[in-house]
Amino acid sequence: MEEGLNVGMKLFSKKKNGRVFNRNFILFLIGKSISDVGTSLQMAIMPLYIIDAGGSAATIGLFSFLSLLPALLVYPFAGVLGDRMNRKTIMVVTEFVSAGVILGMAYLSYFDSMSLTLLLSVQVIISLLYGLFDPATKGMLPRLVEPDNLTRANSIVSSLRTMSVLAGPVIGAVLYVKFGITILFFMNGISFLLAGICEMMIRYTHAKREASAGILGIISDLSEGFTFIRANTIIRKLCYFFLVTFVFVQPIFTVVLPLFFKTRLEYSDTQYGYLQSILILGMLVGSILVGFFFKKKNGVLKPLKFGLGLLLVSMIVFSILMFPENLSILGNDSILYFVLLSIALGLCSTAIMFIQIPVQTFIQRETPNEYMSRIFSLVGMISQGGLPFGALVYGLILERVEVHWIVLSAALLMLLIYVVFLASFLKTKEKFTLKTKLDLKN
């Protein structure tokens, strides 16, 4: 009977550990989803608003630059805070402060006091708050689910995020056309407020650790994080890989696409919202497929190779569609062109999920909890370090070079970089696997 009881307890334990969803993880998902909805309503429309307010391609590039650079600058220190302080507290406080700042923008906009200069200035504050929020969030997630469920949990987080913002661009475009930018600021501010209230209910125990106080203590913590990344060759190469990818690929969505849509195509702002929703739908499809095919696997190479191939093909197709000759043949206001453009961009965003989710899971598995926030903050700083500069450079180059040549050149250059990276990554992975096997034998 005792043996039967032990067997039953083991089966129950396996069943329990196999579950991804629990109270804390559900609250985590709800809080993020609410804020994601509000953010998507506002941010998807910002390029259109900037152009309507008298801005140019350079202004859009500057907005993207200011949306990213402050977060990257604060990332290392945010990682130290995330490992020293309660990550839940950091999440909740940044949500509430973000709500206050954005509701302040809604108030100023309502009284016609909003300007591009003020918008760019406030975006710096929002970016700083996100820089504090993001490492704490990524460091907190592995404590809310079982280690074996991390890939599936990351897939669920990504899938629900894309589902939450799927209708955001369309609804945002409709609201913007009918009521103006004020309503979008207001709804985004309220979403941050509700997200903070939801996250307050998460039961999370902070694992305290001894740390040196003062500036020297912070520098010591950062040094430990850099040492960990430098010692892990695979994580270091993945950081460099993402650095290059973000520089060349991300500005295509944030700078190139809105400018091309407004200046070369003859669709409405509402159709721009549809296009943004298709981009998000592609991310959703990618997130679901990664969770389905790789939910129990630790490998990063197969989804990475598939994602890279799909990303390159879709980028090349997108650049071909942008050529003036193809625009004149297909029609810059036709349903056919819109469908082809949507397919190319949707596949591009799907490919990014096949790259991003397995890599994030790999880093979470390889990183001890006491380093988690620091490592993710440093990985974010390194991998996304070139993104704001890429957006700024794209905005400046678009003033002088035709948009289709820029995207095609970026795709061909990425092809060369990917071939070199995969060859180096495979060599490093083989050494890492061999070392792990030898360590296990010893």
Say how far apart CA 345 and CA 348 lie, in whole Å.
Answer: 5
What was the pLDDT predicted at 203? Answer: 84
CA 145 to chain centre: 21
Mean pLDDT in residue range 58-85: 80
Check pLDDT > 80 for residue 367: no
Using alpha carbons, list the distances in angstroms from residue 438 to 229, 246, 365.
22, 36, 20
What was the pLDDT predicted at 212? Answer: 54
Say how far apart CA 208 and CA 222 lie, in whole Å.
Answer: 17
Say how far apart CA 381 and CA 373 lie, in whole Å.
Answer: 12
Check pLDDT > 90 for residue 213: no
CATH topology of domain 23-201+213-441: Growth Hormone; Chain: A; (1.20.1250)
Closest CA to 275 of 326, 175, 343: 343
Say how far apart CA 130 and CA 112 lie, in whole Å.
Answer: 27
What was the pLDDT predicted at 232? Answer: 79
What was the pLDDT predicted at 28? Answer: 87
Contacts of residue 279, defined as CB under 8 A and 6 or more positions apart, other chains included, come to 253, 345, 346, 348, 349
What was the pLDDT predicted at 101? Answer: 94
Query: Is pLDDT larger for residue 279 or for residue 430?
Result: 279
Number of Cβ within 10 Å of residue 76's Cβ equals 21
Check pLDDT > 90 for residue 7: no
Mean pLDDT in residue range 74-81: 78
Hey, which of 9-18, 107-116, 262-271, 355-364 has the most confident mean pLDDT?
107-116
Percent of the chain with pLDDT over 90: 14
Residue pLDDT, tens place only, 82-118: 777 788 888 899 999 999 999 999 999 998 888 888 9
Say how far apart CA 353 and CA 334 lie, in whole Å.
Answer: 29
Say how far apart CA 181 and CA 187 lie, in whole Å.
Answer: 10
Query: Would you say 414 and 315 are in contact if contact means Cβ atoms under 8 Å apart?
Result: yes
Query: Would you say 381 and 220 are in contact if contact means Cβ atoms under 8 Å apart?
Result: no
What was the pLDDT predicted at 406? Answer: 86
Query: Would you say 188 and 39 are in contact if contact means Cβ atoms under 8 Å apart?
Result: yes
Hey, which of 105-109, 281-285, 374-378 has the most confident mean pLDDT?
105-109
Check pLDDT > 50 for residue 253: yes
Check pLDDT > 80 for residue 180: yes
Number of Cβ within 10 Å of residue 79's Cβ equals 31
Rounded to 10 deg, the angle between the 269-293 and 301-322 helix axes is 160
Check pLDDT > 50 for residue 14: no
What tokens appear for 379 in the block? 């990985």
Check pLDDT > 60 for residue 211: no
Number of Cβ within 10 Å of residue 382's Cβ equals 21
Query: Would you say 140 and 88 are in contact if contact means Cβ atoms under 8 Å apart?
Result: yes
Residue 428 confidence class, pLDDT cut points 50, 70, 90: low
What tokens appear for 241 in the block? 């890989």
DSSP 400: T
Mean pLDDT in residue range 116-126: 90
Q: What is the pTM assigned to this prediction?
A: 0.61
What tokens appear for 348 in the block? 């591009």
- Alpha carbon distance, N-terminus to C-terminus of the chain: 39
Say how far apart CA 129 and CA 132 lie, in whole Å.
Answer: 5
Mean pLDDT in residue range 233-261: 80
395 φ/ψ angles, rounded to the nearest 5 degrees: -60, -40
Mean pLDDT in residue range 142-166: 74
In the chain, where are the structural domains located?
Answer: 23-201+213-441
Check pLDDT > 50 for residue 437: no
> Is the C-alpha dihedral spanning 4, 8, 11, 13 positive or negative?
negative
Q: Give the range among 89-103, 162-176, 425-439 with minimum mean pLDDT.
A: 425-439
Say how far apart CA 406 and CA 130 lie, in whole Å.
Answer: 30
Check pLDDT > 70 for residue 21: yes
What was the pLDDT predicted at 185? Answer: 93
DSSP 147: G
Query: Is pLDDT larger for residue 148 or for residue 333?
Result: 333
Spell out a b/e string for 59-74, using b for 16 or more CB atoms within 10 Å of the CB, else e. Answer: bbbbbbbbbbbbbbbb
Hey, which of 181-195, 242-256, 411-425 has the most confident mean pLDDT?
181-195
Q: What is the mean pLDDT of the chain?
A: 79
Instruction: Report the chain's C-alpha Rg in angstroms.
Output: 22
Mean pLDDT in residue range 257-268: 84
| Alpha-helical runs (H) found in 44-86 | 46-52, 57-84
What was the pLDDT predicted at 125? Answer: 92
CB-based burial of residue 108 (10 Å sphere; 0-12 exposed, 13-18 middle, 19+ buried)? middle
Query: Is pLDDT larger for residue 245 or for residue 199?
Result: 199
Using alpha carbons, list the distances in angstroms from residue 279 to 44, 51, 67, 72, 349.
11, 21, 20, 24, 6
Contacts of residue 213, defined as CB under 8 A and 6 or more positions apart, other chains included, come to none
Closest CA to 327 of 414, 395, 249, 267: 267
What was the pLDDT predicted at 9? Answer: 33
Mean pLDDT in residue range 413-417: 83
What was the pLDDT predicted at 215? Answer: 67
Contacts of residue 391, defined as CB under 8 A and 6 or more positions apart, other chains included, come to 61, 64, 65, 68, 250, 251, 254, 255
> Is the C-alpha dihedral spanning 153, 157, 158, 159 positive or negative?
positive
Percent of the chain with pLDDT over 70: 83
DSSP 256: I
